[in-house]
Structure 1
Amino acid sequence: MKLLFLACLSPKTGNYTTAERIRSHIESAGHSCELRDVADFHSPSDLAHLVSQNPPFEGALAIHLFKAGRLLLDLRLPFGVIFGGTDINEDVKDEQKRVVMEQVLLKARFAVAFTEKLKEEAEFVLVSPDSKIYVQPQGIQTEVAEQFCWTEFLRSSEWHSKNLHNILIIIGPKVDPALTAEVEAVVKRATGVFLAQERSQQELHAAMKRCYAVVNSSVSEGMSAAILEAMDLRVPVLARNIPGNAAVVKHGVTGLLFSSPQEFVHQSQRLLSDQELRERVVRSGKLYVEEHHSVKQERETYQRLVDKLHKAQFLA
C-alpha cells in the first residue's frame, strides 16, 4: 500500500521523531510511506496533484487533526489520524477549528490518542463514535551518542562555577520566533542559564544522561517524549503539573511535579538532598517506560491500523 503521511516536520522536534518512528513501523510491514510536512500545503487542493501522481496514493495518515487532518477532508482517500496535544489542549477552544476537527474525526477510519485521558477528553469535546479512538502510548527507545561535550556551555559565571551542577541548559530548535525572542531576552538577564541549539536525538540523549535531572516546564503537552526518554535513560524528571505530564509522571514515584517557580525550587532541592527519593524515581521511571511504552507494541498497533486502510480502499 502506498501511504501519504502528513505531520509537522520541523527538524529535531518531538513531532519529527515521532513521525519518523511511526513511518518506520509502517514500512517494516511492507508498505510504502511518504512523509510530508504540512507546511508545504495550505489547502486540500494543494495536495490533489501529489495524491493523484502515478502510482497514486492509496491511503493517508496525519498527526494533528486540525493542522494536518483538515488537508485530507476533500480527498478521496481512506485515512487515519493521530491526536497531538495541541488538538485537545488548544485548538478545541476555537469554535471554527473544533468544527473542522469533528469533520476530520467523523471521516477518519480510526484515530489514535496517546493516553486514556486524551481519549476521554476527545470523546467529550468532539462528536465521535467511541470505538473509533484507540489508545497507543508513544514507543520509547533511547540511543546515546558515544562522544558529547558540554564545554561550549560552561562559560564563566560566579554562581555555577562554584558548583557545575547548578546550571540550566535549554536545548531545542527555534520554532516560534516570538517565543524565542522572549526566552533569549530572559536568558541574557539570568546567571547559569544557557540556550543551546538543537541536537541529533543521540546527542540529546547523551546530554540528558550527563544531567542531574531533566525539566519539562511546558504549559501544554500531549505526551512528552523527552520525559519518557529521560526515564528510560534513568535520569530523574521534574515536570510542570499539567494533564499531559501528569499522565506519565506520578509525583514522588516516577518523577516530581511542580505548579509554580517556588514549588520547582522546592522539588529540585528535595531531589538534590534525598538520595533515596532520587533512586526511587529513577527505578520506577525506568520500569514504567519498559511496561507501558514498548516500541514493539507501538509497531504492532500501527501496522494493524494501517491494515484497516488497506482493506478500506477495496470497499470504497
Structure 2
Amino acid sequence: MRLLFLAVLRPHTGNAVTAERVRDHLEAAGHICILKDAFDFESSSEIANLITTENFGAALALHLYRGGRLLQGHGIPFGVIFGGTDLNEDVNQREKNNVMGKILEEARFAVAFTESMKEMAQAQWVDPVFTREVKAKVKRSAGVRLLGEMPREDLHAAVKNCFAVVNSSVSEGMSAAILEAMDLEVPVLARNIPGNSAVVKHEVTGLLFSDPQEFVQLAKRLVSDPALEREMVANGREYVRRHHSWQAERVTYQRLVRRLEGSWED
C-alpha cells in the first residue's frame, strides 16, 4: 500500500527521528511510505491534491494537531501518533483542543508511546462528542460529580463505600460495572434495557427502572427496605459466582483456543 506519512521534520528533532523509525518499520512490511514535512503544506487542499496525484491509499500523521488536521475530510483512512507537544501544550489552547478532538473522531487509530500519554489523551478525549455532552449535563445537575478514570483497586474501594451502583446506559452488551457491583455486594439499579435485564432480574439480583420517575421510586424503596437490599445483594453475588466465574471463564477460553490449534477432543 502507498502511505502518506505527515510529520514535523526539523533536522535532529525527536519527531524527525521517530518518523524515520516508523517509516522503516512500515517499509520493512512491504509498504511504500512517503514521508512529508507537515510544515510544507499551508492548507488541507494541498494535501487533497497530493493524495490524488500520488494515489495514496492511506495516511499517517505524527502529532495530532500539526499533522492530523491536514488529513481531515479527504475520505482517506488515517491514523495518528501523539507527538508530545500536542498532549503537553496544545491541549491547553481551546481551539486546538477542539480541533484535535474532531481529528480523533475521524482517525482509525491513535498511538501513544507511554501509558501516561495514553491516560492524558483518554482524559481529554475517550469519546469527544459524548464527553462534551456529559460534562455539560453534569454542570447543570446539582449534587452530581464527574470523576475521571481511576485504578481498578481504587474504583472497587469507592464502589464498596457506596449505597448502590446505578447503570443508566441506553445501550449495553454486558455491563462489567453491574457484575463488579454484584461481586462487591453492592445493590444495583439499572435501566431496563436488554443488556442490563439479561444480568439483572428485577427485585431478585437488582432493580430495573424505565424512566427517571421509576428510578426515584425504586431508589426510595431500596433505602427504606433493608431486607430487600440484603436479599438482592446475596442473590447478586451468587449469580456472579455461578454464571460469571473468573475460573470458569479461564477454562472456557483455554478450551476454545485448543480448538484453534486443531485439538477437537472436547
- CA shift, 1:180, in A, is 0.8
The 4+ residue runs of structure 1 with deviation greater than 3 A are: none
Counterpart check, 1:261 vs 2:203: no
Counterpart check, 1:175 vs 2:126: yes
- Mapped to 1, the partners of 2:240 and 2:258 lie a distance apart of 27
- Mapped to 2, the partners of 1:173 and 1:202 lie a distance apart of 22
Aligned residue pair count: 145
Alpha-carbon spacing, 1:299–1:200, altered in 2? closer, same or farther (3 Å): same
Q: Which residue of 2 aligns with 1:210?
A: 161
Q: Which residue of 2 aligns with 1:276?
A: 227
- What one-letter code is carried by the residue in structure 2 that aligns with 1:182? E
- Mapped to 2, the partners of 1:176 and 1:298 lie a distance apart of 30
- What one-letter code is carried by the residue in structure 1 that aligns with 2:181? A
Q: Give the match's secondary structure for 2:185.
A: coil
- Mapped to 2, the partners of 1:174 and 1:262 lie a distance apart of 32
- Mapped to 2, the partners of 1:256 and 1:175 lie a distance apart of 29
| Higher-RCO chain (CA-CA 8 Å, sequence separation at least 6) | 1
Alignment of 1:4-23 (within 5 A): none
Q: Which residue of 1 aligns with 2:139?
A: 188
- CA shift, 1:174, in A, is 5.2
Counterpart check, 1:302 vs 2:256: no
- CA shift, 1:245, in A, is 0.5
Q: Deviations over 1:53-78 (max 9, x none)?
A: xxxxxxxxxxxxxxxxxxxxxxxxxx
Q: Deviations over 1:99-125 (max 9, x none)?
A: xxxxxxxxxxxxxxxxxxxxxxxxxxx
- CA shift, 1:202, in A, is 1.1
TM-score calculated relative to the size of structure 1: 0.44
- CA shift, 1:49, in A, is 4.1
Alignment of 1:120-139 (within 5 A): none
Larger radius of gyration: 2
Gaps of 5+ in 1: 1-45, 51-171
Q: Which residue of 2 aligns with 1:237?
A: 188
Alpha-carbon spacing, 1:307–1:201, altered in 2? closer, same or farther (3 Å): same
Alpha-carbon spacing, 1:228–1:173, altered in 2? closer, same or farther (3 Å): farther
- Mapped to 1, the partners of 2:215 and 2:125 lie a distance apart of 25
- Mapped to 1, the partners of 2:205 and 2:188 lie a distance apart of 8
Q: Provide the aligned C-alpha RMSD in A.
A: 2.1
Contact 1:173 1:198 in 2 (8 A): no
- CA shift, 1:308, in A, is 1.3
